[in-house]
Amino acid sequence: MPDLISLDKIKRHYDVGGEIVRALDGVDLTIKQNEYISIMGPSGSGKSTLMNMIGCLDSPSEGIYEFEGELVHEMDDNQLASIRNRKIGFVFQTFNLLPKATALRNVEVPLIYANMSRRDRIQKAEKALIAVGLKERMHHKPNELSGGQRQRVAIARALVNDPSIILADEPTGNLDSKSGVEIMKILDTLHDSGNTIILVTHEEYIANHADRSIHLFDGKIKEDRKTNKVKSVDQ
């Protein structure tokens, strides 16, 4: 299978008050299609920076980043926005839904930026919401939904544009354990149906849903191994 993502000696340095912080200090990583990867590490190890890097929210200070053969580190802001829009689906710890919009309209947002017609948009958004089991609650606003339901809306929004990769940053971090299990089940299902998923987490049992686990420490990859895969079980 061809490489979906290839990071070659990626470095990301920040200048914080005259002091150089090496958030990423030479990361080599290849991710193939339909992989299920977890990224772990203590806080300050560079997890978020790596996540932002892969998600094209951030550009490397040094190194080569290829996404489906395209050189991301050479792209300008508009090209990065386009990649984020078409190729990447984000799931955040704090859901980050638009509070005043219904679930349906929240899911529509990426399609608006993809300049899709209103009819197609609604059709696709409804399909995505049905896929995450929210058929009955499409027209509810975030404050009328439970935490687990909100995160499912966020997942629907992440996959509505058929992205190449879904990036989930602590997707269960703000949820009770029951909702967390539900969310992981949905992610597992998405992986089974062919999606590539990257999870950032510091919970071992969440990380074990993935096939491959990457441990970061001080901006470098300390460990890259197969996990003892667990499958989510119906309770």
Partner 1 sequence: MIGLFWENFRISLGSIFANKTRSILTALGIVIGVLSVTLMGTLISGLDKTFEKSMAGFRSDVLLLSRMEWFSGDTDWWEMRNRPRMKEDYGQKLLARSQFVEAVAPVSERGGSIIRDDRRIDSRFFGTTTSYLATNSSTEIEQGRFFTDGENRSGARVLVIGGDVADALFPNEDPLDKYVKIGNYKFRVIGILKKMGKFMGMFSMDNQATMPMGTYKRLYARRGWMTLRVKVNTTDVETAKGDVRGIIRNIRRLKPTEKDNFGINQSSTLEAQYKAIKLAIGGTGIFITALSLIVGGIGIMNIMFVSVKERTREIGVRKALGATKNMILGQFLMEAIMICLIAGLFGMGIAYGLSIIINNFFPSSMPMGLAVGAIILSVIIGVISGLVPSYRAARLDPIDALRYE
Please give the residue ranges that form the binding site for partner 1 (CB under 8 A): 52, 55, 57-58, 77-78, 81-82, 84-86, 90, 92, 96, 98, 100, 109-110, 112-118, 157, 161
Question: Which lies closer to partner 1 via its Cβ, residue 40 or residue 83?
Answer: 83
* Closest CB 63 distance from partner 1, rounded Å: 18
* Closest CB 90 distance from partner 1, rounded Å: 5
Rounded (10°) CA dihedral 181, 184, 190, 191: -130
* Closest CB 184 distance from partner 1, rounded Å: 22
Comparing CA positions, the residue from 179, 171, 158, 235 lying closest to residue 203 is: 171
* Closest CB 75 distance from partner 1, rounded Å: 12
**What pairs with residue 38 in β-bridges?**
199, 213
Question: Which lies closer to partner 1 via its Cβ, residue 78 or residue 143?
Answer: 78
* Closest CB 99 distance from partner 1, rounded Å: 8
At 49, list the tokens: 């920076």
* Closest CB 183 distance from partner 1, rounded Å: 18
Question: Which lies closer to partner 1 via its Cβ, residue 9 or residue 118?
Answer: 118
Q: 58-85: string of b/e by CB count within 10 Å (b at 16+)?
A: bbbbebebbbeeeebbebeeeebeebbb
Comparing CA positions, the residue from 65, 69, 35 lying closest to residue 167 is: 35
Question: 27, 61 in Cβ contact below 8 A?
Answer: no
d(CA 58, CA 72): 10
Based on DSSP, count helices (H) and strands (E) in the chain, helices before strands: 7, 10
Question: Which lies closer to partner 1 via its Cβ, residue 98 or residue 130?
Answer: 98
d(CA 218, CA 22): 8
Question: Which lies closer to partner 1 via its Cβ, residue 6 or residue 161?
Answer: 161
Count the neighbouring beta carbons within 10 Å of the beta carbon of residue 35: 19
Question: Which lies closer to partner 1 via its Cβ, residue 72 or residue 181?
Answer: 72
* Closest CB 113 distance from partner 1, rounded Å: 4
Question: Which lies closer to partner 1 via its Cβ, residue 119 or residue 178?
Answer: 119
